[in-house]
Structure 1
Amino acid sequence: MAICADAPFVTPPEVSPRVGPFVIVTPAHNEETFIEETIRSMVRQTVRPLQWIIVNDGSTDRTHDIVASYAARYPFIRLVDRHRQGERHFGNKAHAFNLGLRQCDVAALSFIGNLDADIALEADYFEKVLQRFEQDTRLGIAGGMVRTRIGDQFISQDVALDSVAGAVQLFRRECFEQVGGYRPLPLGGIDSAAEITARMKGWTVRTFPELCVLENRRTGTATAPPLLSRVKEGRRYHSLGYGFLFLCLRCLYRAMDRPRILGSLAIFIGYVRGLVSRSPILLPPDTVQYLRGEQQAKLRQQLKSLVVGKPS
């Protein structure tokens, strides 16, 4: 898959004439290792955002300098510096994203998107995503299938098709406004909270597997080793209101994901820690009720499939 090849830079249109203007916001904290690849894949897009706002979120490395050098060359790139205190956590990402979005006239936009700072895209990625929105007026959140670098390979996240990885979520503006945007949740899950709420309000949420996205670092591992990040992932599932049975079966289903067995065990431990300590569930009760209803429906569907598929 050829991404970020050393081809000449081009000047594509910065607004899709069919579906209207969009902006992308990228919170970036100490991303000097990967952000230049992300930038190079963005400037090669056949359809660019009206603005790409990169929020330098208190970085102490060369992130600011790298982004500034490209912003000076490409007018659609805008650098915003945010000064913050404290350690890296997912609440900061929401605050940084919201700061970036405040630089725009949101009412004039058709779409609003998040792009993580360690992502590489095919040149026609946004053109194709916008085509999907044009074809379905109830499509509220869309994105491609993320393949994450693990070791020397890119492994598909294999997300459910009614979910979109937070690294590449693109919202129809009306949907974004109805879900209340990204909420600063300290344990993460800002993307999950948005898409659960979107589905609850009747919007379609969809990942398109044919649109491939490369992620250079697994989400949540920037400051934590893989197993600890999985424990945090389990705590996050509890904070979002995941049902216990669904979580257990999900751990079994994902047991062969790397790190095999131990990864799922770590997620389970994190969830149980949240359960036993009675950590608060951070989503509204009606949203949690909807989520658990979705999960129960999926479990019933899986059980039905097993029964129907069982030989007589």
Structure 2
Amino acid sequence: MQKFVLITPARNEAVYIEQTIQSVIKQTILPEKWIIVSDGSTDGTDEIVRQYQARYSFIELLRRKSSEKRNFASKVYAFKDGEGRVAGVEHDFIGNLDADLTFAPFYYEKVLEKFIANPRLGIAGGEVFDFYDNKAHKRYSSYNSVAGGVQFFRRSCFEEVGGYIPISFGNEDAIAEITARMKGWETRSFTELKVLHHRRTGTEGRSILKARFKQGRIEYMLGYHPLFHIARAMQRLWEEPFVLGSLVRTCGFFWTCLQRPKRKVPEKFVKFLRQEEFKKLIALLGGNLGK
């Protein structure tokens, strides 16, 4: 079976969401259900989705009241509301889809083929490029890391890892894929499947430098070893904003390190993550970090 469902948490995505909807409705294999969860949108997002909901039976708008106190867990709560709406829908795969992405009509057909070819594949997705200034900018990422906005799960894997965990600092996608590998599943992004993200990663509602500082903080909270963090920061020196972005990211990491907040992930998670990092550091000696 190749039945799948999609969930899209969206907050004030009127500028981008119609492009994403167009990408989905043109797919060669359509989802059984696509829940678009509007998380308190006030910019016309709901109206755009309603227009397509009236024409496509698999699209459903779910309006969620936005909490006054918002943090990075809010997106996960919105996703979980969507989960509740697909619980009774027959499916073998479940995908998270951000509301600012576009991709080719054969995208989901090809992703499903990857799962059929590999029974141990738990999470998959395409390679995401940030599209701005009329150019597609390649992200620095590992082959076994799937961007959260396109994470597509085998249902049994999704259930085994417990889905997305709501944590205030975010990065629920990284926690899900690391947990999946810890439980013996494979995770993989496929470079032949190109996805365009129509803004810079992590800049939603904030400046690029604030985003880089936050990314450094997240790496500490996930349990990154300081040496691995430094190695990654050095590799990203030529990622915009050049040099400064990596320095700010490192400041975020060590500023959080000095504060020593309690991590929300279990010790066994950190231990597994650092084992993976050690292997990548060895690969770095051969110039292959992230490959």
CA distance in 2, matches of 1:61, 1:245: 43
Distance 1:271 1:231, change over 3 A: same
| Match of residue 33 from structure 2 | 51
- Measured in 1, the distance between the counterparts of 2:276 and 2:69 equals 34
**Paired amino acid for 2:161:** V
Q: Is the 8 A contact 1:240 1:281 kept in 2?
A: yes
| 1:148 aligned counterpart, secondary structure | strand
Once the two structures are TM-superposed, the CA of residue 301 in structure 1 deviates from its matched residue by: 2.6
Mapping of residues 2-81 of structure 1, within 5 Å: 19-81=1-63
Aligned-pair Cα RMSD in Å: 1.3
Distance 1:287 1:227, change over 3 A: same
Match in the other structure for 1:89: 71
Which residue of 240, 259, 274 corresponds with 2:241?
A: 259
* Structure 1 portions without partners, runs of 5+: 1-18, 307-312
2:185 paired with 1:185 = no
2:68 is paired with a residue whose SS is: coil
2:33 and 2:89 in contact (8 A); partners too: no
**Counterpart-to-counterpart distance in 2, 1:272 and 1:158:** 21
- 1:295 paired to 2:244: no
Q: TM-score, normalised by structure 1?
A: 0.89
Deviation for aligned residue 1:277 = 0.5
Deviation at 1:218, TM superposition (A): 2.2
Q: State whether residues 111 and 172 of structure 1, in contact with CA within 8 Å, keep that contact through their aligned partners in structure 2.
A: yes
Instruction: Please give the TM-score of this superposition, normalised by the length of structure 2.
Output: 0.96
**2:104 counterpart of 1:122:** yes
Does structure 1 residue 104 correspond to structure 2 residue 104?
A: no
- The equivalent residue for 2:192 is 210
Q: Please give the alpha-carbon distance, in whole angstroms, between the structure 1 residues aligned to 2:151 and 2:189.
A: 9
Where does residue 223 of structure 2 map in the other structure? 241
Per-residue CA deviations over 1:176-208 (Å, capped at 9, x if unaligned) read 011110011211110000000000000000000
Percent of residue pairs identical: 45
User: AA paired with 1:196?
Assistant: I
Tell me how many residue pairs correspond in the alignment.
287
What's the CA shift for 1:264? 0.6
Deviations 1:266-287 (A, max 9, x none): 1101111110001221211111
Deviation (angstroms), 1:222: 1.4
Q: Which moved more, 1:99-108 or 1:112-121?
A: 99-108
Encode CA deviations 1:113-169: one digit per residue, 9 max, x unaligned.
100000001000000000000000000000000010232211111421111000100
Query: Which segments of 5 or more consecutive residues in structure 2 lack a partner in the other structure?
Result: none
Within 2, Cα distance between the matches of 1:107 and 1:68? 21
Residue in 1 that maps onto 2:264: 282
* 1:142 to 1:186, Cα distance in 2 relative to 1, 3 A: same
Q: Which runs of 4+ in 1 moved over 4 A?
A: none
Counterpart AA for 2:2: G
Cα distance in 2 between the residues matched to 1:87 and 1:67: 25
Is the aligned partner of 1:152 residue 2:134?
yes
Structure 2 counterpart of 1:37, which letter? Q
Pick from 208, 225, 248: which aligns with 2:207? 225
Please state how far the C-alpha of 1:87 moved relative to its aligned partner.
5.7
Instruction: Give the 3-state SS of the residue equivalent to 2:66 in structure 1.
Output: coil
Distance in 2 (CA, whole Å) between partners of 1:245 and 1:234 is 13
Is the alpha carbon distance of 1:265 and 1:112 closer, same or farther for their aligned partners in structure 2, counting shifts above 3 Å? same
- The 2-side partners of 1:87 and 1:237 are apart by 24
Aligned partners of 2:214 and 2:252 also within 8 Å: yes
SS in 2 for 1:102: helix
Partners of 1:145 and 1:158 within 8 A in 2: no
Query: Per the alignment, do residues 209 and 88 of structure 1 end up closer, same or farther by CA in structure 2, a change over 3 Å counting?
Result: farther
Q: For residue 207 of structure 1, give the secondary structure of its aligned residue in structure 2.
A: strand
SS in structure 2 at match of 1:161:
coil
Tell me by how many angstroms 1:88 deviates: 5.0
Corresponding letter in the other structure for 1:131: E
Partners of 1:183 and 1:121 lie apart in 2 by 27
Q: CA deviation at 1:90?
A: 2.0
